[in-house]
Amino acid sequence: MKKLKQTPATDAVTALILSVFRFNNALLRSGDQLVAPLGLTSARWQVLGAVVSAERPQPVAWLARDLGANRQNVQRIVNDLEAAGLVGFETNPHHRRAQLVVLTGKGREVFAAAMHLQIPWADRLCADIPVKDIEAAHEVVTMLQRRLDQAENGDEVFPPERSARRPPAR
C-alpha cells in the first residue's frame, strides 16, 4: 500500500480530533462531578437538556438523533430518568409504541439546578479566553461535524482522495 503524504491541514485536523477526544473525556468527568449532588451524570444531564430544548415532547429515537447518540443508550438513560422521577411518558398519537418523553416538575427543578451550577463553572472555564476565539473554535467544530453528518447520510462532501486526483489538464 502506497503511503500517503500528510498535509499541514491533515496534521492540524488530526491534532484537533485528538484534543477533542481528550476534551470530551475531561468534560464528561467534570460534568459528572458538577451535577453528582443533584443525582445526575453528564449523560443524564445531556438527555434532560435534549428534552428541555425540544419544541414539543419527542420519542426517544428523535432525542437520540438530536443528540447524535445511539437510540439504545438514550433509551437506557431515559429509563433511569423515569425511575428517578425526572421524566415521564405520554402516548404518541402518531406511533403506538414510541411514547413521548416529557419532563416532570421534579425534572424541571433538577435541570434548573444543574444549569445554575453550570453558569459559574462555564465562566471559570472560559476565563481569559477571548470570545472571538471560542466562537472560531465552535465554527470549526461545527463545520467538521456537518461534514461527518453529511458523509454518514450518504451526501459525500469530501473532495476526492489525493490518490484519485488527476493531474491538471494541459
* Residue 156 reports pLDDT greater than 80: no
Q: Total domain count for the chain?
A: 1
Question: Is 97 a member of any domain?
Answer: yes
Question: Is 138 a member of any domain?
Answer: no
Give CA–CA dist 8/170, Å, rounded: 27
What local confidence, expressed as pLDDT, does residue 161 receive? Answer: 56
Residue 19 grid cell? 484534543
Buried b / exposed e across 75-96, counting CB within 10 Å, b at 16+?
bebbebbeeeebbbeeeeeeee
Query: For 72-105, what is each residue's pLDDT tens digit?
Result: 999 999 999 999 999 999 988 888 788 999 999 9
Residue 48 grid cell? 434532560
Q: Whole-model pTM? A: 0.82
Question: Is 151 a member of any domain?
Answer: no
Question: Is 6 a member of any domain?
Answer: no
Give the domain range for residue 73: 33-128
Question: Is 165 a member of any domain?
Answer: no
* Residue 10 reports pLDDT greater than 50: yes
Question: Is 143 a member of any domain?
Answer: no
Percentage of the chain beyond pLDDT 70 is 91
Question: Is 150 a member of any domain?
Answer: no
What local confidence, expressed as pLDDT, does residue 24 receive? Answer: 96
Question: Is 105 a member of any domain?
Answer: yes
CATH number (domain holding residue 96): 1.10.10.10
- Residue 90, SS3 per DSSP: strand
